[in-house]
Chain A
Amino acid sequence: MDRITFVCFGASYLTALVLYLAAQFNRFQWLRTGAIVFHGAGALAQSLYLAYHQPALFSPFGFLLFFSWLVALVTLQLDLSSRVRSINIFAMPVVLMLVALAWFRGTAVEEGAILMRDARAWSVVHAASLVLASLFLGFGAVAAGMYLVRARQLRNKHRPGTGVQLPSLEQLESKVRQSVAITFPLLTIGVLIGAGMLWGDAAHLGGWADPRVLGTLVLWLDFSVLVCLRYVFKVRGRLLALLVIVAFVLLVVCAALPHSLPARWHTPTGVQS
């Protein structure tokens, strides 16, 4: 098990991405089958890695790795059910980016790492709501990326049935809206619980100046503005898609920030790739 490294699932995902891209422009079924096999192999390797190393979910390393694993699994399921065949062209770069960021963070010192088995009940709810919010925002960003490409195809009046095969503009916009509608309450719950924990146990936690706390606050404020634009000013289409992508980028930046928690909650050794 300890021989499974980032290279195993990173390379699998990269190969899957290349095959997904090739399958979009070729009619060979084996390309899609190959892509799914590599995608599945990558997800399996990453599952084993996570099970063996049990990285801390509250650390940037653990969060990014866990988040990328979830995205990879859900997009594999979506591809297998053949609902959105082109989704992995957009989702796989996100997975690869998250894995790369995790690898980058993993090589640094593990700041504020807390193992899930040590976490308290509120921490679990806090983490779960933030992970779910990230997942939905991630899918919103993928749908937004697809929306922008579809809108570009239509603006250029491309030939129907050629190029990247995407769902209709209406369907993609509906997914972006759904992601906004689901992400905001989850994010709010996560932030409120986090704030409560910080308030009640300020002595032990990192305090309000914690980079991750500040980053999450900025993300929540940004998302509040997005929700306000969406529901009050009826912002839609390309602008909404762009705003969701910006929010997702903020989320990734925020996730990569350290949680400067007290030393007694740290793991004895940092998880290394």
Chain B
Amino acid sequence: MNLVMMGVNFRTTPVQVREKLALSGDTLTQALEAIQRAFNCESVILSTCNRVEMYFARLDGTALPGVGEMAELLGRLVELESGSLADNLRSTEGEKAVRHLFRVVASLDSLVLGEGQIAGQVKQAYEVARLAGASGPALNGLFQWARQVARRVRTETGLAHGHVSVSSVAVDYVREVFDHFDDKTVAVLGAGKMAELTLKQLTDLKPKRVIVTNRSLERAENLALAHGGQAAPWAELDSVLARADIVLSTTGSPDPIVTLDRWRQISRKRKKGRCVVLDIAVPRDFDPRIHDGDSVCLFNIDDLNSVRNATLEERRSHIPAAEQIVDQEAARFLRDWTRRKHGNAIARLTREFEAKRENIVSKLLQKLNGRLSPEDKRYIEGAFRLLQNQYLHGPIAALAEESANGAVQEGHTLLDALRKLFRLPEADS
């Protein structure tokens, strides 16, 4: 298959280069247009935080852009020195490029194994290329197949099971305790980066009320404002905790804020029954003894991290199964690709032979006009058709055998031989 993948990713290239290469919106469309103008080939560009990869393909065997040419073109687009770009660009082709795309879309090549975003990003990259008219029959088939691969890996293996970010795991625990959130109050202690990240996930649950309290009221007000909540002075901490169903604690306090005794006092004031405490502060803000798994469920950063690590470990155990699916699908895709390519060649070959046969038979019948009975005419036509079929049987059977075996040879193939022997045009076959 005439396919090349060229790009950079988090394993091979530092973020300083990746961020300069990142293409989105108009720049991405410009790049696709520039590639089409310069090399007249199909292209799709996948640009995410962790990778920028370009896929080029052609139906015929004409050479695709090399690393040097692409580095020069990209260098002009993103204003980078082409020499350093060429050093960073990695390239694979043919079957390896197909496998690479399938591994990427299955999230086997992701920074966080099994993360779900990449399949959507690949789909989006393909849609952008399709709308820009940059992709064609070769890449359309490949990227549509890639979506199937992502689906198979997601449903048939446990590679995408569970959550691996601390905030998502925290929300999973909250969901195990509460069923609905429209009557729940979320209290946030602290107003740092971690509070913001986790609060974002918690507000997706659409709680009734968000109260932020912090030693600096101004910071609490800013965070509350950003998430449609209200701020409360630090002095009202006990009353905030007494009203809360979900507590998110992320302060930088060196000592525990809520001891067992203090919690007991707060519990007496509580009108609501159950409370989930997400203590993701280091050092911890809550005494772990308040956890009973019934009226109070407390999860600290170690609990959340251990779930995260266990989930990642479990995902790793599914790598062999996912790789097997990738291998199967790559082989199936290439077999299908060969079959379709051979199908075109066989049709072309048969058409050409038929045209020639009809031409010769009609000339022969004209010359013998009047001397042949209708039965003789049918016999001659049948004899020439038989000759054509017997003559084509060998090459067609050999091509069919090659595509059935899935043999995808690099370099000279039966198809190339057939093209040369019977003078078949390349683009058509």
Residues of A at the B interface (CB closer than 8 Å) are: 27, 150-157, 159-161, 167-171, 174, 236-238
- Give which listed residue, A157, A161, A169, contacts B161 with CB less than 8 A: A161
Type the 1/0 row for B161-194, where 1 means its CB is closer than 8 Å to any CB of A.
1110000010011011111100000000000000
Given contacts A152-B293, A237-B273, contact A159 B175 (CB under 8 A): no
Roughly how many angstroms separate A236 CA and B274 CA in the complex, as a whole number?
Answer: 10
Contact A170 B179 (CB under 8 A): yes
Q: Which residues of A contact B273 (CB under 8 A)?
A: 236-237
Chain A: minimal CB distance from B199 (Å): 19
Contact B178 A170 (CB under 8 A): yes
Name the prevailing secondary structure of the A interface residues. Answer: helix
Contact A150 B176 (CB under 8 A): yes
Q: Closest chain A residue to B163 by CB distance?
A: A160
B429 within 8 A of A: no
B377 within 8 A of A: no
Type the 1/0 row for B284-303, where 1 means its CB is closer than 8 Å to any CB of A.
00000001111101010001
- Give which listed residue, B172, B178, B180, B274, contacts A160 with CB less than 8 A: B172
Shortest beta-carbon contacts, A-B, top 9: A155-B293, A160-B172, A171-B179, A154-B293, A168-B179, A170-B179, A237-B294, A238-B294, A169-B177
Q: Which residues of B contact A150 (CB under 8 A)?
A: 176
Contact B179 A167 (CB under 8 A): yes
- Give which listed residue, B158, B178, B295, B311, contacts A237 with CB less than 8 A: B295
B67 within 8 A of A: no
Chain B: minimal CB distance from A213 (Å): 37
- Give which listed residue, B175, B274, B294, B303, contacts A157 with CB less than 8 A: B303
Roughly how many angstroms separate A167 CA and B299 CA in the complex, as a whole number?
Answer: 19
- Residue from A150, A160, A174 having most chain B Cβ neighbours under 10 A: A160
Given contacts A160-B307, A236-B273, A237-B273, contact A154 B295 (CB under 8 A): no
B310 within 8 A of A: yes
Q: Which residues of A contact B307 (CB under 8 A)?
A: 159-160
Q: Which residues of B contact A151 (CB under 8 A)?
A: 293-294
Contact A154 B179 (CB under 8 A): no
Roughly how many angstroms separate A265 CA and B360 CA in the complex, as a whole number?
Answer: 105
Q: Which residues of B contact A152 (CB under 8 A)?
A: 293
Q: Which residues of A contact B173 (CB under 8 A)?
A: 154, 160
Chain A: minimal CB distance from B277 (Å): 12
Chain B: minimal CB distance from A212 (Å): 36
Q: Which residues of A contact B176 (CB under 8 A)?
A: 150, 153-154, 160, 168-169
Contact A155 B294 (CB under 8 A): yes
- Residue from A27, A155, A169 having most chain B Cβ neighbours under 10 A: A169
Chain A: minimal CB distance from B289 (Å): 13
Given contacts A160-B162, A169-B177, A170-B179, contact A154 B297 (CB under 8 A): yes
Chain B: minimal CB distance from A238 (Å): 5
Residues of B at the A interface (CB closer than 8 Å) are: 158, 161-163, 169, 172-173, 175-180, 273-274, 291-295, 297, 299, 303, 307, 310-311
Contact A156 B161 (CB under 8 A): no
Chain B: minimal CB distance from A145 (Å): 15
Contact B311 A159 (CB under 8 A): yes
Q: Closest chain B residue to A150 by CB distance?
A: B176
Q: Known contacts A150-B176, A153-B293; can you find 13 more A-B pairs with CB under 8 A? A: A151-B293, A152-B293, A153-B176, A154-B176, A155-B293, A155-B294, A160-B172, A160-B173, A161-B172, A168-B175, A168-B176, A168-B177, A174-B179
Q: Closest chain A residue to B300 by CB distance?
A: A157
Chain B: minimal CB distance from A24 (Å): 15
Roughly how many angstroms separate A152 CA and B291 CA in the complex, as a whole number?
Answer: 12
Given contacts A154-B297, A174-B179, A237-B295, contact A169 B274 (CB under 8 A): yes
Q: Which residues of A contact B303 (CB under 8 A)?
A: 157
Q: Closest chain B residue to A155 by CB distance?
A: B293
Q: Which residues of B contact A236 (CB under 8 A)?
A: 273
Contact B311 A155 (CB under 8 A): no
Roughly how many angstroms separate A163 CA and B223 CA in the complex, as a whole number?
Answer: 37
Q: Closest chain A residue to B307 by CB distance?
A: A159
Chain A: minimal CB distance from B295 (Å): 6
Contact B299 A159 (CB under 8 A): no
Contact B291 A155 (CB under 8 A): yes
Given contacts A160-B169, A161-B161, A236-B273, contact A155 B178 (CB under 8 A): no
Q: Which residues of B contact A169 (CB under 8 A)?
A: 176-178, 274, 294
Roughly how many angstroms separate A170 CA and B161 CA in the complex, as a whole number?
Answer: 24
Could you pull out 27 A-B pairs where Cβ atoms are within 8 angstroms? A153-B176, A153-B293, A154-B173, A154-B177, A154-B293, A155-B291, A155-B292, A155-B293, A156-B293, A159-B162, A159-B307, A159-B310, A159-B311, A160-B169, A160-B172, A160-B173, A160-B176, A161-B162, A161-B172, A168-B179, A169-B176, A169-B294, A170-B179, A170-B180, A170-B274, A171-B179, A237-B295
Roughly how many angstroms separate A174 CA and B177 CA in the complex, as a whole number?
Answer: 12
Chain B: minimal CB distance from A149 (Å): 11
Roughly how many angstroms separate A238 CA and B292 CA in the complex, as a whole number?
Answer: 10
Q: Closest chain A residue to B292 by CB distance?
A: A155
Q: Which residues of A contact B162 (CB under 8 A)?
A: 159-161
Chain A: minimal CB distance from B246 (Å): 12
Q: Which residues of B contact A156 (CB under 8 A)?
A: 293
Q: Which residues of A contact B299 (CB under 8 A)?
A: 157
Q: Which residues of A contact B177 (CB under 8 A)?
A: 154, 168-170
Roughly how many angstroms separate A174 CA and B294 CA in the complex, as a whole number?
Answer: 14
- Residue from B172, B176, B299 having most chain A Cβ neighbours under 10 A: B176
Roughly how many angstroms separate A237 CA and B310 CA in the complex, as a whole number?
Answer: 29
Q: Which residues of A contact B297 (CB under 8 A)?
A: 154
Chain A: minimal CB distance from B173 (Å): 6
Q: Which residues of A contact B172 (CB under 8 A)?
A: 160-161
Q: Closest chain B residue to A241 by CB distance?
A: B294
Roughly how many angstroms separate A30 CA and B311 CA in the complex, as a whole number?
Answer: 26
Chain A: minimal CB distance from B417 (Å): 48
Roughly how many angstroms separate A151 CA and B162 CA in the complex, as a whole number?
Answer: 20
- Residue from B273, B293, B295, B310 having most chain A Cβ neighbours under 10 A: B293
Roughly how many angstroms separate A155 CA and B162 CA in the complex, as a whole number?
Answer: 20
Q: Which residues of A contact B175 (CB under 8 A)?
A: 160, 168
Q: Closest chain A residue to B295 by CB distance?
A: A237
Roughly how many angstroms separate A52 CA and B189 CA in the complex, as a whole number?
Answer: 66
